[in-house]
Amino acid sequence: MKPRRWFYLVVGVPAALFIFLVLTVCFIPARELQGLVVRGLASEGYTFRATSFGKAFPLGLTARAMEIGDERGPLFRADRVTVRLQLLPLFLGDIKVTGRARIGSGQIDGAWSRRSGGGLHASGIRLEDIPFFSTVTGAAAKGVMQVDANLRGSQSTRRGEIKLDVKGAELAGIKIGGTPLPDAGYRQIQGMLRLSGNKANLESFSLEGEGLYVRLRGDFPIISPLAKAPLNLTLELMPKPEFLERQKFVFLLLTKYLTSPGRYEIPVKGMLSRPALP
């Protein structure tokens, strides 16, 4: 191939793709683009709402007062979300998308690349600003959360991990399948979820509280839609005698899960969106 033709292919193809994308974003009404988002989430069983939805310069979309939920109610809210397609990677033969979400006083930043995979960092997120907890578990949650996640490879070779850290947490009114769990305050919550191929393994998830130590472990498959992934988890509760005495009614309901003095092992089944006890 002649050098000049090679040059035209290397420069011309990305340039043509860029112009096509710009024209597409410019001439498609924001309402139509919002409709695509609504239909895409609806196919997975979710709803989408936003008080405003528009385009972000140069190639992106932005939404204010955004809410994603299902038939039970809201699961995620953000004051503002912006997603952009990065220009420079296009000229290098890659597709890269970045996103940012503002949730109260916290923020989420994420990026995904066809070549290198994706990553996400969330900091300063207050648990009370995430409606998932009250909608799915009936819990009143407080605390400040930080999340770091990365994902590499395609579906069959997927590798990654998600790290969670919560400071000053308070959880009250949690129910799984109608069964209440103890209310408690926790100095620290830490978790590590590893992704390998089509499986997610919860290596560690621990809650250190005053008089109560909680640990969750197990796994679930990565399927589509993810909300219907069957759970294979075990919740361990290790209360101190004085804590058990203060909430003895709750622990009486959990007596059948008592495996040794001061230790309860509760199997958690159901689906990711609907945890249940057998």
* 243 exposure class (CB count in 10 Å sphere: 0-12, 13-18, 19+): buried
Kindly state the tokens that stand for 44.
């997975």
Q: Name the helix (H) or strand (E) containing 219.
A: strand 212-221
Poorest-confidence range of 57-71, 106-120, 135-149, 150-164?
A: 150-164
Q: Which residues contact 136 (CB under 8 A, 6 or more apart)?
A: 72, 75, 273, 274, 275
pLDDT interval class at 144 (50, 70, 90): very high
Phi and psi at 87, nearest 5°, equal: -80, -50
Q: Look-up: residue for tokens 């919860």?
A: 202
Single out the residue of 212, 204, 208 nearest to residue 234, CA to CA: 204
Q: What is the pLDDT of residue 26?
A: 59
Distance, CA of 158 to CA of 194 (rounded, Å) = 10
Side-chain-side CA neighbours of 266 within 13 Å: the count stands at 24
Q: 34-48 pLDDT, tens per residue? A: 888 889 888 888 899
Kindly state the tokens that stand for 23.
């024209």
Kindly state the tokens that stand for 233.
């988890």
**Has this prediction a pTM greater than 0.85?**
no
* Contact by Cβ (8 Å): 186, 127: no
Q: Look-up: residue for tokens 């689906």?
A: 271
With a cut of 80, say whether residue 20 has pLDDT above it: no
Q: Look-up: residue for tokens 């006890």?
A: 277
Distance, CA of 165 to CA of 155 (rounded, Å) = 27
Kindly state the tokens that stand for 169.
């947490």
Distance, CA of 8 to CA of 3 (rounded, Å) = 9
